[in-house]
Structure 1
Amino acid sequence: MSESYSLLGLWPIINRWKKLVGTALVLALLTSILVALTLPNIYKSTAVFFPTNPQTTDPDRIATEGSKLELGGRTEDLDRIITIGQSQPVGELLIKRYRLHEHYQVGPAGTDAADDAALREFSANLDIVHNERDAIELTFQDKDKQLAARIANTLVQVIDSVNQQLTLENRRNVLGLYQQRYLFLNAEFERSRQQLLRARRRYGIYGLEQQSRYLAREIIKVETDLRIAEGSGASASKVAGLRRALRGLTEADQGNVINLENYTQGVDSLNLFTSRMTDLQDRLVKARGEYETADVALKGKLSSLYLVQKAYPATKKSKPVRWLIVVGSVFLTLALSVVVITLLELWRRSNRRPAAPLGT
């Protein structure tokens, strides 16, 4: 004949073993209280920041487009920041800076076992996550709330520095290109300026407006005097002199410094050189401005992170929750006790044998 068991049927069993169950619960209560009281308080400090778009911190973008820092919620930016923060070199740097070997009591630095234990403890206390607002939350926990805040803030700075180093070499190359372009344009501008000076000396042109007025006035005056002399029957020597004067003003081979032929050729050359110099001057000014802006951007070390909230020392502990430890320990002990005494009861009943009938 089979027997059935229910939760209500456990009460008589518990009642029969109440002393043993009570002793186990008291021991669990006292032990859990003792353990909960000896556990150190753990404090958390959290820093929140956004990664900026690295393209907006490059000198070429800043100089040529005048761009500004933009928040970069791109997946690759977020993954790069989290990877840097969780990397071993960054962890070892923080461990060395704050002497965490001594703080974690894992042994002297320099031994493989101590270094590995310190790194594992550091990694266990660090949490870097991408939250639902596309920001990064960096949390560090420690028994010392001041130390936890300092490590969290330092870690943000180290991540920023490493992230900048990833594009630093490219920035230097871009700055070198700007410098080369500026030096080239400066040399070209100086060469064009010398060509313009030589052209002015060759053609004797130093003031276009004034000289054009003087040349036109003299040509008209000499030509008018020539026509008057020819019409009035002046002497041949006077007419010949006026004709030579007119040729001197209009022909280059007559020896006049200022003459129409040289002036026309000179004006064309000067216009060409002037246009070239104007173009080079504009490009030179722009190139110089771009180079100076890129140089300032590189030396300024623009942050690659936008810090929303720096880490502050916690005002209350995050763990342990002592009452939960005590309650959980007592409940677990009760559950295990019920299982044990139930199994004992089943074992005792299964070992019972019916008595043999008496012979007559």
Structure 2
Amino acid sequence: MSSNSDSSNSFDASGLVAFLYVWRKPLIIVSVAAAILSAVFSAPFFIKPKYESRVILFPGSTSSISKAVLNESAGIKNDILEFGEEEQVDQLLQILNSDDIKFRIISKYNLMSHYDIDADGSYPITKLNKEYDDNISFRRTEFMSIEIKVLDIDPDTAAMIANDISNLLDTAKNRMQKDIAVKAFEIVKTEYDGLTTYIASIKDSLKRLGMLGVHDYKSQSEVLNRQYAEALAKDNQSAIKTLTEKLDILAKYGSTQMSLAYNLENIYEEVFPIIKRKYDEAKVDATETLPHKFVVNRAYPAEKKSYPIRWLIVLISTLSAFMLAALVILIRDNVGRLTRQA
């Protein structure tokens, strides 16, 4: 049984070799013709060569400037010098694919004209988006970095687009964060301004009480009562009258002075530090910016084209033509044999 199988395989192999030898001329002619035609039609005259430029970057680990710079309890997760993780990579990829960045690049480089798309023709925006997606791509690498890849017929344009997209990444993310940060700052500022106004009113009231001679109820009452006792002991009517007036004023406004002073002290110890910290953090987030990426490699103009790969086109075309020609000859040969037998 094994010998029959081996002989059958040997027969099939020898039959294939014999078949190829018999039909070698047409197979060679078809293969050579396919190679020549594919080489011609993959030339720059038919297919414009494209040059590739890449930017490699890592995302930052933090989005909040205040938490990274001002907040001492933020911890290592908000270290501005740390590379981001998978979550930050996915966020930046989503921003890179946003219409904001796409429309800015399309507008700056006039890609509608650059890609030879007729603006008055059918579906120009659809064609433009397809060309954009075909020539500009973003992906996460195995090292958790992001690759921005741009193909263009002009190597300088490819490099400039790739670098501009990298720069616009910060612009787009900062704009989105600023929209929220500014509103948050306005809320905190209103609270902070209200508190400072309230503090100013307390200080103004204490100043008015000071002009009346009420500075510190406890210490003043002790001193004045002691002086009053001494004046009574000496029967100093002038001093008694003066001290009585001061004690009356102190009795009238003393509780108010104590309440205001206690309230002010409580605000400065407990409330004001919290509101002031929130205010400082919100102001930094609303007015300052930080890069959200670490650029490993910036794009530069390529010296050699990346598309099309002519040798690969020629190889695939030649092999495909050879196999198709062999299949056609085999089918024709078998059909002819069956016809003759009939």
- Match in the other structure for 1:73: 85
For residue 12 of structure 2, give the secondary structure of its aligned residue in structure 1.
Answer: coil
**Matching residue of 2:262:** 275
- Structure 1 residues 141 and 187 mapped into 2: Cα distance closer, same or farther (>3 Å)? same
1:135–1:110 distance in 2 versus 1, CA, 3 Å = farther
Distance 1:182 1:6, change over 3 A: same
1:143–1:213 distance in 2 versus 1, CA, 3 Å? same
Cα displacement (A) at 1:122:
1.1
Deviating more after overlay: 294-303 vs 98-107: 294-303
The aligned counterpart of 2:310 is: 322
What one-letter code is carried by the residue in structure 1 that aligns with 2:94? T
Partner of 1:120: 130
**Does 125-134 or 159-168 show the bigger shift?**
159-168
Identify the match of residue 340 of structure 1 among 316, 328, 334: 328
Q: Residues 315 and 209 of structure 1: is their aligned pair in 2 closer, same or farther, counting only changes over 3 Å?
A: farther
- 8 A contact 1:24–1:333 mirrored in 2: yes
CA distance in 2, matches of 1:291, 1:88: 33
| Deviation at residue 121 of structure 1 after TM alignment | 1.0
| Unaligned runs of at least 5 residues, structure 1 | 227-240, 355-360
1:186-197 equivalences in 2 (<5 Å): 186-197=196-207
Contact 1:219 1:249 in 2 (8 A): no
Deviations 1:60-119 (A, max 9, x none): 8876668554654354x4444333333455434322321222222222x35443332222
CA offsets per residue over residues 232-275 of structure 1, 9 Å max, x none?
Answer: xxxxxxxxx44x4675477x4xx3x3x4x755776665443233
Distance 1:89 1:245 in 2: 84
Listed one character per residue, the Cα deviations across residues 169-207 of structure 1 (whole Å, up to 9, x for unaligned) are: 3212211112112211121112111221233344x2458
Q: Verify the 8 A CA contact 1:25 1:330 in the aligned structure 2.
A: yes
Work out whether 1:143 is the aligned partner of 2:164: no
Contact 1:182/1:287 (<8 A) preserved = yes
Q: Does the Cα contact within 8 Å between 1:189 and 1:281 map onto a contact in 2? A: no
TM-superposed deviation, 1:147: 1.0
Distance 1:114 1:274 in 2: 72
* Residue in 1 that maps onto 2:290: 302
Q: Which residue of 1 aligns with 2:5?
A: none
Q: Write out per-residue CA displacement over residues 263-312 of structure 1, whole angstroms, 9 at most, x where no aligned residue.
A: 57766654432332334456557645653553343232434444443333
Which whole-Å CA distance do the structure 1 matches of 2:94 and 2:194 have between them? 42
For these two proteins, the number of residue pairs brought into alignment is: 326
Residue 193 of structure 2: aligned partner: 183
In the TM superposition, residue 152 of structure 1 has moved relative to its aligned partner by 1.7
Tell me the percent identity.
22
Distance in 2 (CA, whole Å) between partners of 1:84 and 1:44 is: 22
Deviation at 1:123, TM superposition (A): 0.7
Cα distance, 1:63–1:279 mapped onto 2, change above 3 Å: farther
Q: 1-side partners of 2:69 and 2:308: how far apart?
A: 50
Instruction: Please give the secondary structure, in 2, of the residue aligned with 1:313.
Output: coil
Q: Residue 28 of structure 2 aligns with which residue? A: 22
Q: Which secondary structure state, in structure 2, belongs to the residue aligned with residue 49 of structure 1?
A: strand
- Output the TM-score relative to the length of structure 2: 0.77
1:131 aligns with 2:141: yes
TM-score of the superposed pair, with normalisation by structure 1: 0.74
Aligned to 1:49: 57
Aligned to 2:37: 31
Residues 130 and 136 in structure 1, CA contact (< 8 A), matched pair in contact too: yes
C-alpha distance in 2 between matches for 1:336 and 1:11: 17
Q: Please say if residues 62 and 68 of structure 2, whose CA atoms lie closer than 8 Å, have aligned partners that are also in contact.
A: no
Could you say if the C-alpha distance between residues 112 and 341 of structure 1 is closer, same or farther in structure 2, counting changes exceeding 3 Å? closer
* Distance of 1:177 and 1:50 partners within structure 2: 34
Cα distance in structure 1, aligned partners of 2:207 and 2:98: 63
Counterpart of 1:106 in structure 2 is: 117
**Contact (CA 8 Å) 1:33, 1:326: kept in 2 or not?**
yes
**One of 299, 310, 331 as aligned partner of 1:311:** 299
Change (3 A) 1:315 1:218: same
Partners of 2:196 and 2:103 in 1: how far apart? Answer: 49
Q: Which amino acid aligns with 1:95?
A: I
Report the CA distance shift for 1:111/1:288 in structure 2 as closer, same or farther (over 3 A).
farther
- What secondary structure, in the 3-state scheme, does the structure 2 residue paired with 1:140 have? strand
Q: Which has the larger radius of gyration?
A: 1
- C-alpha displacement of 1:16: 2.6
Is the partner of 1:7 in helix, strand or coil?
Answer: helix
